[in-house]
Structure 1
Amino acid sequence: MKAPRAILEVSGVNVRWQDILDIRLENTLYLAADSFDATLRNDLLLSDWFRKQQEVKIYFGYVENPQSWTKADLKHLFTGQIDGIKPEWSGKKIVRLIGRDYSSPLIDTEYSIAFENQTSSQIAGILSKKYGLKPVVTNTSAVADKELMANKKEWEVLQALADLEGFVCYVTKDKELYFGPRKETDEAVIAKLYNNGPGQVNCTLNFDDSAVGIVNKVTVRHWLGANKKLIEASTVNQSLLSAMGGQVKERIVYESKAKTVALAKEYAEKRLKEWSRNVVTAEGFCVLNSEMVAEKKVLCQGFGRFTGEYYLNQVTHSLAKSDGAKTEFNLTNLRPDDAEQYRQDLYDNNEKTM
C-alpha cells in the first residue's frame, strides 16, 4: 500500500523526514500568495539554522516503499521563502516555519510612479527583473493608464493589467512570472470526485447555491487623452436588483479600450452578464491529491443536479504524522476569473501578510 510522503527543502538541504511533524500548503487564486506552514522537531536546534528569506521548496506525493524513496517519487508543488521562524520550548521542542511564494514581495510593495508610460508587458518585465523572476511575458502595445495603478500594490497592478489585456498573471514554482493568455490545458479536468454509492465515494463535498456576492450593477470608466476626459457608462440587472430588495451591488471597472460611452456601455453589459449569474460553490476534502491546483477543473459525479465540472479556487494540501494526508478544497461552477467578486473578496479578506 502506498504511503504519503513530503520533502521540505530549505536552501537546497532536505529536512530529515523524521523531523517533520506536519506540513500544510495552501494554494489560492492568483491575487493572493501561496503559503506554507510546517511544524518540525527541534531537538537538534533546527531553529538556530533557519533564517527569514531562505528559499523553501515543498514536494508531496505517495511512495511505493515508505522505507526507501527519493525526491523523484514526489511532485514539486511549491517554491517560496521563509517569512517567520517560531520555536516553542514548553513541552515538546518544536519549531514552526511559515512562508509564502515569490509573489509575496509584489503583494507587500506599493506600486511606484517610476513605472509610468510603460505598456502592460513592459511593466511585467520590469517587475520580473526587480524580483529576480524569469519573465514569461506576452508583448502588449498600449501604454497602461496610470489611473489603473493608483494606490495599489505591485501585484494588484499586475492583476489589473492582466484583466485589461485578457491575460492571467502568476508566479510559478519554477520562479517564472507568467503574464499572458490562459493556456488551453487550464480547461482540462485534472481530478474526478465521486459520490456514486458504497465503495465508490472518494471525497466529502458540501454544495452552496446562493446569491452571496452577486453583482447587479457594473460601471466602466476610462480617462481619455491628455486632458483625462472621463468616459463612463453603467448597466443594471433590474430583475436581480428587485430580487435583492433594491440593494445595489456595484463593481467599478477601469477599461482603457472604452474610448466612447457606447464602448463603455458595451463592456459594462458584457461584464454584468457574467457577474450577475448565480454562482454555485462547494467545499470538501479527499485523500491527498497533488494534481489539484487552484483555477484547474475537477469533475463531480453522483451529486444530483450539482453533478458537473467545477473550478478549484482554493486548495490546501496537508500531511500530518498524527492523522495522515489530505487535500481540502473550495469549488465554483464559474471560472474564478469570471466570478471576479470571489477573487477580490479572497484578496481583501485573506491577504497573506506575516
Structure 2
Amino acid sequence: RNDHMLSDWFRKNQEVRIYLGYAPEPNWWSVADLVHVFTGKIDGISPSFRNSMTCKIIGRDYSAPLIDTSFTVAYAARTSSQIAKMLAGKYGLKLNITDTSEIIERDMYQNRKEWEVLQALADLEGFICHVDKDKTFHFGPRQESDEEVEAELYYRSRLKSNCQVDFEDTAIDVYNQITVRHYRKKQVIEGSAKNDALIEQIGQVKERVIYNSKAKTNAQAKEMAQKLLPEFSRYVVTGKAMNMAGNPNLFCEKKVAVKGCGRFDGNYYVERFEHTLNSSGFITNLDLTNLRPDTAQQYRQDLYTKDSAILGSGNKLGSGTI
C-alpha cells in the first residue's frame, strides 16, 4: 500500500530484494527467518492515488542488462566461456563459468542481443545459463541437485489435498527423430536416432536437432541421440497446480512429485511459478511439464508454441511472478 507515500521513495534502477516464508513468531521476526527468493532492479513505478492507495513496482533480475543490450562489436574468434566472461563480467556480476575449448565462429554472436548469444552458446555446449538471486552468473552443466524433488503435490491422496491440479495431455511437440550435431574445425559431427513405430503412427518425421559440443565423433553423437530419444518421443503432459500453500523454494525448473491423480501421477518440472502474498495469505501457483529440460535454452524456447501452452504464450516460459 502507498499510505506512507512509498512512491516518493521508489526510483527506477533501485535494487530490490524479496524475501518470503514463514516466521516462527509473526509479531517478532527478522529477515533471517525468511527465504531470499529474488534480487533485481526496478524498471518502473506505478502509483495509484485512489481509495486503494497502492504503489506497483515492476522489475527484473540482473539478467536485464544482458537482455536489453545488443552485441555488435567484432572480436577475434573465441570460446564460449571466453565470450560469457566478456559479456557477463562487464555488469559486475559474480561469475561461475565452466571453461570450454572449442572456438566459436564470429557470425554466431554478432548483431544479436547479449542474452540471445549466451543462451545460444549454452545450448551449443549443453549448459544452462542464468543469473541467480545472489547476482551470480552461471554458465555451465546442470547440477545433479537440480534433479531432487522439491515438493509433493497431492489431490485426495489418502483423503488429503494440498492443491488443485489441471492437466493437458497432448501430442504437440513430440519428436520421433533426434539428431545430435556439433561442428568441430568446420567439420560436421552428427548422429541420429529414430522411433519407427512413432513415425508410422504420426505419419511423418518430426525431428529435433540438438547441438552438443561433447559429441567428438559420429558414434558419440549417435549414442547421445539414442539416449535422448525416449525422453523427446513421450507425449507432452502439462499441468497447472493452484492454490497451494506458499513454498518459497519452488521456482523455474525445480522438480515436484504429483500424487492422487491416477495415470498423471509422477514427477514434473516447474516451467512458471507465481508467489502471491496478500491479506488472504501466502499462495503458490505452478505451471508444470513432464518433459525434462535438457538445457535451459531448449526448454524455454521449444517446449511449447503459443497455441499449445496451457497458460498461453510459450514465449514467457521459464518465468516467475512474485
Task: Tell whether the structures are fold-level matches, with TM greater than 0.5.
Answer: yes
Distance 1:54 1:114, change over 3 A: farther
Q: Which amino acid aligns with 1:295?
A: E
Partners in 2 of 1:116 and 1:330 — Cα distance?
A: 42
Counterpart position of 1:143: 103
Q: Does 1:215 find its partner at 2:145?
A: no
Q: Contact 1:193–1:299 (CA<8 Å) still a contact in 2?
A: yes
Q: Which amino acid aligns with 1:46?
A: L
Gap runs ≥5 in structure 1: 1-40
Partners in 2 of 1:302 and 1:137 — Cα distance?
A: 41
Distance 1:311 1:88, change over 3 A: same
Counterpart position of 1:62: 22
Percent identity, aligned pairs only?
52
Q: Contact 2:171–2:236 (CA<8 Å) still a contact in 1?
A: yes
Equivalent position SS for 2:22: strand
Equivalent residue in structure 2 for 1:117, among 70, 77, 80: 77
Equivalent residue in structure 2 for 1:297, among 243, 252, 255: 255
Equivalent position SS for 2:88: helix
Q: Deviations over 1:135-160 (max 9, x none)?
A: 01121111123344355422222222
Q: Contact 1:206–1:282 (CA<8 Å) still a contact in 2?
A: yes
Counterpart position of 1:181: 141
| TM-score between both structures, scaled by the size of structure 1 | 0.75
Q: Does 1:326 find its partner at 2:252?
A: no
Q: Which amino acid aligns with 2:163?
A: C
Counterpart position of 2:301: 344
Distance 1:143 1:47, change over 3 A: same
Q: Which amino acid aligns with 1:314?
A: R
Distance 1:309 1:221, change over 3 A: closer
Partners in 2 of 1:99 and 1:291 — Cα distance?
A: 20
Distance 1:336 1:233, change over 3 A: closer
After TM superposition, the structure 1 = structure 2 runs for residues 170-249 of structure 1, keeping only pairs within 5 Å, are 170-197=130-157, 200-218=160-178, 225=185, 237-246=195-204, 249=206
Distance 1:194 1:219, change over 3 A: closer
Of 196-205 and 72-81, more deviation after overlay is shown by 196-205
Q: Contact 1:214–1:341 (CA<8 Å) still a contact in 2?
A: no
Q: Deviations over 1:196-244 (max 9, x none)?
A: 446521111122222122234556666664xx57777776655434433
Counterpart position of 2:309: none
Q: Does 1:288 find its partner at 2:246?
A: yes
Q: Contact 1:275–1:338 (CA<8 Å) still a contact in 2?
A: no
| TM-score between both structures, scaled by the size of structure 2 | 0.81
Residue 117 of structure 1: how far off its partner (Å) = 1.5
Q: Aligned pairs, how many?
A: 308
Counterpart position of 1:43: 3
Partners in 2 of 1:149 and 1:115 — Cα distance?
A: 10
Counterpart position of 1:158: 118
Q: Does 1:86 find its partner at 2:46?
A: yes
Q: Which amino acid aligns with 1:135?
A: L
Q: CA RMSD in A?
A: 3.1
Distance 1:113 1:271, change over 3 A: farther
Partners in 2 of 1:174 and 1:203 — Cα distance?
A: 30
Partners in 2 of 1:57 and 1:173 — Cα distance?
A: 8
Counterpart position of 1:11: none
Counterpart position of 2:272: 314
Distance 1:189 1:233, change over 3 A: closer
Gap runs ≥5 in structure 2: 305-312
Equivalent position SS for 1:125: helix
Equivalent residue in structure 2 for 1:168, among 105, 108, 128: 128
Partners in 1 of 2:297 and 2:228 — Cα distance?
A: 10
Residue 327 of structure 1: how far off its partner (Å) = 0.6
Partners in 2 of 1:202 and 1:87 — Cα distance?
A: 35
Residue 113 of structure 1: how far off its partner (Å) = 3.9
Residue 75 of structure 1: how far off its partner (Å) = 0.5
Residue 62 of structure 1: how far off its partner (Å) = 1.2
Q: Contact 2:122–2:297 (CA<8 Å) still a contact in 1?
A: no
Residue 260 of structure 1: how far off its partner (Å) = 7.3
Residue 265 of structure 1: how far off its partner (Å) = 6.2
Residue 56 of structure 1: how far off its partner (Å) = 0.6
Residue 350 of structure 1: how far off its partner (Å) = 2.0
Bigger relative contact order, structure 1 or 2, given CA contacts below 8 A and separation 6+?
Answer: 1
After TM superposition, the structure 1 = structure 2 runs for residues 92-111 of structure 1, keeping only pairs within 5 Å, are 92-111=52-71
Residue 267 of structure 1: how far off its partner (Å) = 5.9
